Amino acid sequence: MSSIALDVHAHLVPATTAALPPLDGVVRRPADRVLVIDGQPLMAMDLYCPERLLAWMEANGVQRALVSVPPPLYRQHLDAVAAHAWACYLNDGLLEIATRHSARLGALLHLPMEHPAVAQALAACYGESAHAAHAAHAAHAGYALAAGGVDAVDYGDQAHRPLWERLNAQGAFVFLHPAHCCDGRLTRHYLDNLIGNPYETAVAASQLVMADVPRQYPRIRFCLAHAGGAFPAVCGRLQRGLDTGRPGVPAQIEPPLQAARRFFADCIAHQSAGLRLAQEVFGRTNVLFGSDWPFPMGILSPDTDDTVRAWRQDATP
């Protein structure tokens, strides 16, 4: 078994703090200690147990993991006040977990992008806290943002510029994970996940590129989930749109195929051809290991996964 230095895509749910914030729609069920989120129980028990993640890491040679909350906890319907309180609960809980296991875990803090002012205020607060305390700095590894989920989330919107400025000043690692797919046609056959997730990531990355965000804020290390979703497959089409002066395509942006080299992505492509495309578009060393632990759509057995074998071979410069 060969060692993996970092897993950029693992999930945990903080549910061990003394009290949930006084928000409608979230309860902790006493019988089995799961969270019921807006009427839906989150039954993946491994999410509540950092020790199980650590045991999985030990068994699979993963030295360190960056943990974020999974999409059922994004709760993008909340108003600004409730979203702020909910994000504080999630982030304080993740920081507490990561501080207890600072040698092995880092927290990617949730920023509610549907409320730009709230996201900016939280980034400012946690950025200052990380610099003020060494323990918090070690636990705070970056941020996790929901790609899509609601029409209000447009990464190219001018309202997000103060946030990008803040994250650029911090040199932040920013993980983009798809939220609930906005396309109602994909509700059957699990397509909201199978097709919707890579679609939402592609939209978010394309918005960033068309708004010239990666070039203008080069110290932000954007990392895309699921090998970049559909973005590697459409990046050439974005480039063609620029080259041929298509209506609405900004003429002064960094060429999309060049901007793509500023992104990182995890290796969860599920096939070697998808992995090779991600490596070609982002650069071999910009494709990092991700497990999506503990979900079945991830990579839970790195040593037996053909895509991981290919990633290990090709990730060496």
What rounded mean pLDDT belongs to the chain?
Answer: 92
Q: What is the pLDDT of residues 108-129, one digit of tens each?
A: 999 999 999 999 999 999 987 6
Segment 193-206 mean pLDDT:
96
* Distance from C-alpha of 182 to C-alpha of 277, rounded to nearest angstrom: 26
Look up residue 303 and give its two tokens: 């040593």
On the 0-12 / 13-18 / 19+ scale of CB atoms within 10 A, 221 is: middle
On the 0-12 / 13-18 / 19+ scale of CB atoms within 10 A, 38 is: exposed
Indicate whether 65 pLDDT > 90: yes
**pLDDT category of residue 170 using cuts at 50, 70 and 90:** very high
Per domain, the residue ranges of the chain are: 7-314
If you count them, how many residues does the chain have? 317
Strand partners, 10: 67, 293
Please state which architecture CATH assigns to domain 7-314.
Alpha-Beta Barrel (3.20)
Return the biggest CA–CA distance within the chain.
61
Segment 217-230 mean pLDDT:
98
pTM: 0.94
Answer yes or no: are the C-beta atoms of 155 and 111 closer than 8 Å: no
